[in-house]
Structure 1
Amino acid sequence: MSSTRDESGWQRWNTHFSTSVEVELFGKTLRLAQDPNSQNLGTTVWDASIVLAKWLEKGARRGEFARQKLRGKSAIELGAGTGLAGLALAMLSCNIVLTDTAQILRLLQMNYDANLSPAACSGLDLPCLSELGAVSVQELDWTRPEQYATLAPPYDFVLAADCVYHEELVQNFFDAVLAMVSLKTTVVICNEFRSDSVHTRFKQLFEPRFAMKRVPHAKMDAVCQHQNIDIYICKLRKDVAASRPVPAAG
């Protein structure tokens, strides 16, 4: 996986200009297709998803995200895009539903088929492929609450990478997260800092409802991390678990 500097000087691991990107995880190279001609942000492997996937890889041996603790657990990735973070969780034996809007589903399915489907893994002798979690692809538009129930929540884990990028969408994202959780759910959100207003809105909505822990950068992958990308581990607060529906923050 190579890197390139953007117009701000950020040494990025990927941009939306390429048709594919390769990321090595658990000894297997994932080749993820992108669509550089698309105006949809979901067709790019964003840096936050790489940071999140490599953090999951680093924690595979011990801790809450160790393989033995994830085996057979249920998970959903919101705004999965090209699917990298969710595929990393599947490689840790977690059963996961990759979700995005309808126009992204074809690319999302194609990336699963090309990397972790039985056909793609045939003949490969890698420990990470010996007990892959089940993977499915399903539509979920955060602005359509009627779709929430079709995903059959709650899940053990909710995953999201670079879903907090526009202030107007943060409320929809929050509502979708809240609809997928129970008191036992662990929510993992990886955000790239976009602006003070977006970050403030994110914290304004999540902090009253979730106990949030920011992952120290020292616990991330030594190479795939950046000062502007943070990972948050969130759990629903017991004292507000029954507070639904949740009103929008002022």
Structure 2
Amino acid sequence: MALVPYDDHTLSGLKRFYNSSTTYTFSNHTIRIKQDWKELGVAAVVWDAAVVLCMYLEAGGVNLQGRSVVELGAGTGLVGIVAALQGANVTVTDRDLAMEFLKSNVHDNLPKELEHRMSVKPLNWGIGLEHFSHFDVILGADIIYLEETFHDLLKTLIHLCSDHTVILLSCRLRYQRDHDFLAMMRNHFTVDQVTYDKNLDVFIYKAQKAQREEF
């Protein structure tokens, strides 16, 4: 299940995913993220969209202090860890098969004094949503790529949102279907591009529930 087209440039870029770990510095903390491409594939490597979203959070793109935050498709947990370092109370989520790997990265990188700010929970989009309530901020890095998941992803976003929730989606727009998902979102949310990293070809979109006009 490929996220990217396999040209020569891509194949060269994929080599870094075979590294067992990769290191970043955010919020004055060194974060060493384990990767496991061989066993868990796309869920267990750090994608450029995650790095760009972390930079946006670190730069204060949205106020996270004391906010409730959920990350969808958290993968390695990098984005959620950075959000916690920025003062948020974070729930990182992914499929069941990624739970132990995700918990391990969170445990190894989150300072002890911040452990109370972060929880790891399984979430298959569109299923068991009654176990989750609204969040102030929803984060997603490179989660727009499989067309068959779009309905459940949108259902999940709608469920997790209050009228004041901010959604931040970091992504590459690789295919027409990616644009199609943003069009689907615009039926329910106002969606605006807030940044574009031209070096990594990554966009960040901000979405909020569309406010209905009152007459």
Distance 1:39 1:65 in 2: 31
1:193 aligns with 2:173: yes
Structure 2 CA distance, aligned partners of 1:191 and 1:97? 20
Q: Quick check: 1:15–1:45 contact (8 Å CA) kept in 2?
A: no
Which amino acid in the other structure matches residue 99 of structure 1? T
Following TM superposition, by how much is the alpha carbon of 1:87 offset from its aligned partner in structure 2, in angstroms?
Answer: 1.0
* TM-superposition CA deviations, 1:67-118 (whole Å, max 9, x none): xxx2211110000000111111111100010000001011111011100041
State percent identity of aligned pairs. Answer: 26
In the alignment, structure 1 segments of 5+ residues that lack a partner are 1-5, 122-130, 241-250
> Higher mean Cα deviation, 134-143 or 169-178?
169-178
TM-score, scaled relative to structure 2 = 0.87
- The 4+ residue runs of structure 1 with deviation greater than 4 A are 10-14
TM-score (norm. length: structure 1): 0.76
Q: CA deviation at 1:228?
A: 2.7
Q: Does residue 214 of structure 1 match 2:196?
A: no
The alignment status of 1:181 with 2:175, answered yes or no, reads no
Q: Residue 207 of structure 2: SS of its match in structure 1?
A: strand
Q: How much is the aligned-residue C-alpha RMSD, in angstroms?
A: 2.3
Alpha-carbon separation, structure 1, partners of 2:202 and 2:188: 22
For 1:195, the aligned partner's letter is: Y
* Matches for 1:1-250 after TM superposition, within 5 Å: 7-9=7-9, 15-59=16-60, 65-66=62-63, 70-118=64-112, 134-144=117-127, 147-151=128-132, 153-196=133-176, 198-217=177-196, 226=199, 228-239=201-212
- What residue in structure 2 maps to residue 124 of structure 1? none
For 1:235 and 1:35, locate their aligned partners in 2 and report how far apart those are by CA, in whole Å.
34
Task: Write 1 or 2 for the structure with the bigger share of helix.
Answer: 2
Cα shift readout 1:6-57 (whole Å, capped 9, x = no counterpart):
8443685984211111111022110011112125421111111011001111
Q: Which has the higher strand share?
A: 2
How many Å separate the matches in 2 of 1:14 and 1:190? 22
Quote the Cα distance in structure 1 between the aligned partners of 2:24 and 2:151. 31
What residue ranges of structure 2 are gaps of 5+ in the alignment?
1-5
